[in-house]
Amino acid sequence: MSIKRRSVLKGMLATGVSMAALKAPAVHGQGAPFKLGLLTVKTGPLAQGGIQMEQGVLTWLKEKNNTMAGRKVEFFSADTGGNPAGTKTKVQELVERDKVDVILGPLAAFELLAITDYIIQAKTPLMSLAAAEDMTQRRPNPYFIRASATSGQAMHPMADYAAKELKLKRIVTVSEDFAFGHEQMGAFQQVFEDAGGRIAKKIWPPLVTPDYTPYIAQISDCDGVCQGFAGSNPLRFMKAYAAAGLKFPVVGGETAGDDALLKSFGDEALGLVSCCPYTLDLETDGNKRFIDGMLKNFDTVPGQYAGLLYLNCMVVEAGLKSLNGDASDKEKLIKALRAVTLTDTPRGPVKFDHFGNVIGDFYIRKLGTDGAKYGLKYWNKTVKVYKDVSQFWTYDEKAFLAKPVYSRDNPPLKP
């Protein structure tokens, strides 16, 4: 593996990793190296997830002696700055200068939407963590594949659980005022109201909010709260929520209780219920191997950002193996990636629908202290598994796609 020092050294040092710790024995792959690109973010409120994305890729490459399907891997990591303009620049560099075969990332929906047309033009397979719904729904990108989740894919089962098992009736939603937040809350509202619940109010703080207190003050007339914060913002929200003295139970989606935040949460997060496609407490060989690698290479407990990028690497290798290592035909490559079925991964079994979006298990977890490992005081304990969850939930696909994409005002707030 050749890691481009200009793009990745800074990020590695920022996460406390020495260059020596990631050196691997020289591997002689057959033919030209396979070029793997990563679009991530290392600054701002989403940096916590972006840094773990890179760690997940590096952990997989280290484990595999820096090869995929018998080919040496040349890895390029690019920091987008967490904005659309930076993402456009970096994706062009990866494609036109570095000649990558596959791109992993970016993280945020607004980054992904900024480059989707270019990806189609460049005909470069893209495996993103970004959850923008319509990338695999009404405006599918033929070069896109997603092994993580759409914005709503975790919120559908979370809403089902909140209504049917937590018996919540009126919920206030609060999430960042951008595409991921809008789509999460739209999905939660749809399923929650279909199950007989009601959304009492929707609150939209900006992505960069210095103080959540004015927004938390708007929470009332409910028996629960659904939060969809991402990156490190769940930490700040839960602290402010507890400081305000509110006692309504809090539920959230895949980013709300990310396992990588467990070391930073305090008692304010006790009882937080979240739904995620990856969970630290999954007792499988694939997850244990991944966690051991993260602890060994980075001395850090992983969350979904690292786990799902590690999974992306597994999918790329499986697709490449099916082509005997030949990535020259991008049409064949994206078809091979979408045909991958895996069983022993950090998130459990995965396969893909005809749009290239994952079908997999989603885990309802409750944050507490019971069963904690890895030196952690707090722990997400799985209380229910929703098996083989599709991006369309239990809805008819054609009926689902006939409706507008989830948004800030869709579904509308009922009087």
What's the number of domains the chain is made of?
2
Residues 28, 146: one domain? yes
Residues 235, 376: one domain? yes
Residues 9, 55: one domain? yes
CA dihedral 99, 26, 57, 147 (to 10 degrees): 70
Is pLDDT at 10 greater than 80 in this prediction?
no
Residues 19, 124: one domain? yes
Residues 243, 317: one domain? no
| Tens-place pLDDT, residues 381-402 | 999 999 999 999 999 999 999 9
Residues 304, 385: one domain? no
Is pLDDT at 315 greater than 70 in this prediction?
yes
Residue 144, domain extent: 2-150+282-360
d(CA 333, CA 149): 21
d(CA 242, CA 42): 28
Q: Which two tokens stand for residue 282?
A: 């999954």
Residues 328, 234: one domain? no
Share of residues in the chain with pLDDT > 70 (%)? 93
Calculate the average pLDDT of the chain: 92
Residues 269, 304: one domain? no
| Tens-place pLDDT, residues 32-52 | 999 999 999 998 888 989 999
Give a yes or no: residue 409 inside a domain.
no
Residues 274, 306: one domain? no
Task: Say whether pTM exceeds 0.95.
Answer: no
Q: Please report, as a single letter, which amino acid is at residue 296.
A: K
CATH number at residue 352: 3.40.50.2300
228 Cβ contact partners less than 8 Å away, ≥ 6 residues apart = 155, 173, 174, 175, 176, 180, 181, 184, 185, 188, 252, 253, 255, 256
Please tell me the least confidently modeled range out of 44-48, 80-84, 185-189, 410-414. Answer: 44-48
